[in-house]
Structure 1
């Protein structure tokens, strides 16, 4: 990428100012991070991973997507901890505003960390819930270590690695609608603009970013520094049609009825390839469902687990 416009440092300062202004306006302390949940850390693959745990019962592990960290699952943890032992964690590179690292960034690296986290916390087998990029990481981890997982709940995975050539061409044409302006803003080191453009596009509304809950705007700006490494990752994840066809873990592949076609293409393909899978299209939902409606999303996750394991839902 050739940098144009503001330099990277200036772009980061713009983001930090915006985030600070939002916090100051609402009287929020940056340290107030998933209040009520105990924060802890564990070293996995020579990297410190922060996580939160709450509740008792079968373990559920949440895997966040782009421009996010463990904080996005705060409401979900409170809801599902009434029945399950829930864990939310922040993936490497995320959750630390302005943090720059030479560590590798990619689905394989994050999947390797995920496997290590589950083993390190001794919470296997887990019900794994992944959203967007987190669903891709979840799939990769399931391929690497299937014995660690009791079920998979994949909301709108996005990696095209298992699409055939014809479908992949359609996928890329649809992806341009979402990412063309985002790539340009990142290339120009205008990360604050890139964040807004991506979130507006995913939410399918021009003012979606500014109309979100305050806490989500803060989280997205805090993770703006991850956009460039994520959009330019060079790792080649071992997620292909053959690997998916060998996944025997009970799996739900889920997408919203109002989401971008790019995500529907991937979801339908994944559900077709994974033998023991169930495809669900959620009415009146888009890519941002987990953030827009935590209670509804949790109910969907809970119903999926209950149906797979014949548990009577209360």
Structure 2
């Protein structure tokens, strides 16, 4: 393990018999899974870690590939077969983990995976719409305004409430701390520089997979879910009515119901 990954923070929730490993979204931390874990406390023991530059984990030093470094951090916790769950950027990390250690992943749940390269290949017109929505974020970043960049990003991808001015300063600071990893991951997410979609790369991912999106999320997310479903050997896609991009946080009961139904045959 690289020195960069020393001090990665992880925690566990619940005391149920089913072992779950979860990877949070950008600008959040492992505690984002608390609501879901509480709903499923009798069913699962959920372990989650803070990605680099998030929560109690160290800052990313800008060296190496951010997605792959976090996958490496997650793999260090993958010591027995688990149900692997990831949200947003964390879902792309979970996918890389499943590619690397398929024998230790009993099932794979990808919630709103932001692997935009799928849409670039399958539905470029739909991707163009979200790229247009992102231009104010890009402009704020290029202007060096970190707070405005984070505020606009949160407006596009966050839960909607509370609004930025109403968030505690500590939370705003934590989100701004993590924000630089997002523009740095453009090549990974949009251009597939890690070759996740290369011919044969997803062949190891043979475990049952569930792709979950929110009906109110940007349409590109449904396109990504459909595209990944076609590329994986045992996958299906579902949508949560009335939910947006932050559905594991805003709709923990609905997410729990989907997971129980997905895992039931196992």
TM-score w.r.t. the length of structure 2 is 0.85
Match of 1:261 among 209, 219, 224: 219
What is the 5 A alignment of 1:85-234? Answer: 85-95=45-55, 99=59, 101-118=61-78, 122=79, 124-163=80-119, 165=121, 167=123, 169-203=124-158, 208-210=161-163, 218-219=170-171, 221-233=173-185
- Structure 1 spans left out of the alignment, 5+ residues: 1-41, 310-314
Q: Is the 8 A contact 1:105 1:230 kept in 2?
A: no
Q: Who is 1:49 aligned against?
A: 8
Q: Which has the larger radius of gyration?
A: 1
Deviations 1:155-183 (A, max 9, x none): 1111133456452x224302213421112
Determine helix, strand or coil for the equivalent of 2:116: coil
Q: Is 2:252 aligned against 1:252?
A: no
Q: Is the 8 A contact 1:67 1:219 kept in 2?
A: no
CA distance in 1, matches of 2:129, 2:159: 13
Deviates more, 1:56-65 or 1:99-108: 99-108
Q: Is the 8 A contact 1:151 1:251 kept in 2?
A: yes
Q: Is 2:20 aligned against 1:60?
A: yes
CA RMSD of aligned residues (A): 2.9
Match of 1:296 among 250, 254, 265: 254
CA distance in 1, matches of 2:180, 2:226: 28
Q: Who is 2:234 aligned against?
A: 276
The 3 A distance-change label for structure 1 pair 165 and 296 is closer
Q: Is 2:36 aligned against 1:84?
A: no
Determine helix, strand or coil for the equivalent of 2:195: coil
Residue correspondences, number: 259
CA distance in 2, matches of 1:52, 1:144: 23
Deviates more, 1:103-112 or 1:261-270: 103-112
CA distance in 1, matches of 2:58, 2:96: 27
- Structure 2 spans left out of the alignment, 5+ residues: none
